[in-house]
Chain A
Amino acid sequence: MKLNSFKIFLIGSWLLLSPNLFAQGLVEYPNHDRIYKGFNNYFEFASVNGDTLLFVNASNATLTKKGKGYIVLPTGNKNVQLTITNSNKDTLATKVFRVFAVPQPELYLGNIKNGEKLIDRMSTQLKVLYDPYSALGNVAFAIKSWEIYVGENVKVCKGTGEELTEEAIEMIRVAKDGERFKIVCNYVNFMNDSRTQSVSAVFIL
Chain B
Amino acid sequence: MIQKFLIISITLSVSNLAFAQSDQVVIAQPDYNILYAGCANTVQVGRKDGITDFVLQAEGMDIQLQDPVSSIYIFTPRGKDRISLYFLNNTQTDTLDFKEFRVLPLPPAEIYLGDAKNGEILTNRTASVLSLKLPAFVTVNANMTIADWSASLDDDKKLFYGEGQQLSVELMEKIKNAPKGAVLHLEVAYKTNGKGIKRQKLTFTL
Interface residues of A, Cβ cutoff 8 Å to B: 19-20, 22-32, 34-35, 41-52, 54, 68-69, 82, 84, 90-95, 132-138
Contacts and interface: CB of A to CB of B under 8 A. Distances in A.
Contacts of B47: 24-26, 46
Contacts of B87: 24-25
A134 B137 contact: yes
Given A25-B85, A34-B137, A46-B48, 10 more contacts: A19-B96, A25-B54, A26-B46, A27-B85, A28-B46, A29-B41, A30-B72, A46-B25, A48-B23, A48-B70
A26 B107 CA distance: 25
B25 A32 contact: no
Contacts of B42: 29-31
Contacts of A132: 34, 102, 104
Contacts of A19: 95-98
Contacts of A136: 31
B68 to A, nearest CB: 9
A151 to B, nearest CB: 26
A42 B137 CA distance: 18
A133 B44 contact: no
A95 B137 contact: no
B25 A45 contact: yes
B26 A48 contact: yes
Contacts of A82: 27
Contact of A27 (B45, B135, B138): B45
Contact of B52 (A43, A49, A90, A94): A49
Nearest to B34: A133
Pick from A23, A24, A29, A41 the residue with the most CB of B within 10 Å.
A29
Contacts of B52: 48-50
A43 B29 contact: yes
Given A25-B87, A133-B137, A51 B50 contact: yes
Contact of A42 (B29, B45, B95, B107): B29
A135 B50 contact: no
B179 interface: no
Nearest to A43: B29
A154 B70 CA distance: 60
B40 to A, nearest CB: 11
A27 B21 contact: no
B196 interface: no
Contacts of B50: 47, 50-52
A162 B47 CA distance: 39
Given A22-B97, A28-B43, A135 B31 contact: yes
B49 interface: yes
Interface in B105-163: 107, 135, 137-140
Nearest to A33: B139
19 contacts: A23-B98, A24-B47, A26-B28, A26-B30, A26-B48, A27-B44, A30-B43, A43-B27, A46-B48, A48-B26, A48-B45, A48-B52, A51-B24, A54-B25, A68-B48, A84-B25, A91-B22, A93-B22, A138-B31
Pick from A25, A43, A136 the residue with the most CB of B within 10 Å.
A25
B70 A95 contact: no
Contacts of A90: 21
B140 A25 contact: no
A112 B177 CA distance: 42
B97 A23 contact: yes
Contacts of B1: none
